Amino acid sequence: HHADGANELLVAIWICLGVAGAVIVLLAYQVRRHFFEPLAHLYNWALGMCDGNLSSRIPPEQPGRFAKLTFHINRLSEALEKLANEMDETVWQQTRRLHQRNKSLEILFEVASAINATSNLTELLNRSAETIMPIVNATGCVLRLREDGGDIYVLGTESMQQISAEM
């Protein structure tokens, strides 16, 4: 009678250990799925963002409370990526504008240099035409001068072929 009670106690202990083991395995799975995996995704996202990968996102199918956090982090990532793209576009436009302004200043400098280097109006206009034609992609031009009385004089014509032949 005493041995049967000990066997029953031993069976009950093994059943309790089996149930406890199953609970521990299930608990470990749940902790991994609901805590460690989302934390690993968050860590990988942060590494990607720090490396400059602004298209880095967290997979949206996160469980529990991480789903809402994931949603907001991904929206923040999208906003940051959009802002960076807009900033790149603005910088590109400003760079292009500065390049055009520098080109205009170069033209003005060349025309001002021509004014100092020429002795008459016809030569000045011809040098100015030579400077401006390549910039505006012109293959030729006609230089005309209107006097105060309304008379128009053709001072000369220039073409890229004439300029090339003279060089």
In a structure prediction context, what are the per-residue pLDDT tens digits for the chain, which is 167 residues long?
A: 667 778 888 999 999 999 999 999 999 999 888 889 889 999 999 999 999 999 999 998 877 778 888 999 999 999 999 999 999 999 999 999 999 899 888 888 887 887 888 778 778 787 888 888 877 778 888 877 777 777 766 665 556 555 455 54
Separation of alpha carbons 149 and 159, rounded Å: 29
Q: Report which of 36, 39, 37, 71 is spatially closest to residue 57, judged by C-alpha positions.
A: 71
Q: Contact at 8 Å (CB) between 73 and 42?
A: yes
Q: Contact at 8 Å (CB) between 114 and 127?
A: yes
pTM above 0.75, yes or no: no
φ, ψ for residue 156 (rounded to 5)? 165, 170
Q: Could you say which DSSP state residue 35 is in?
A: I
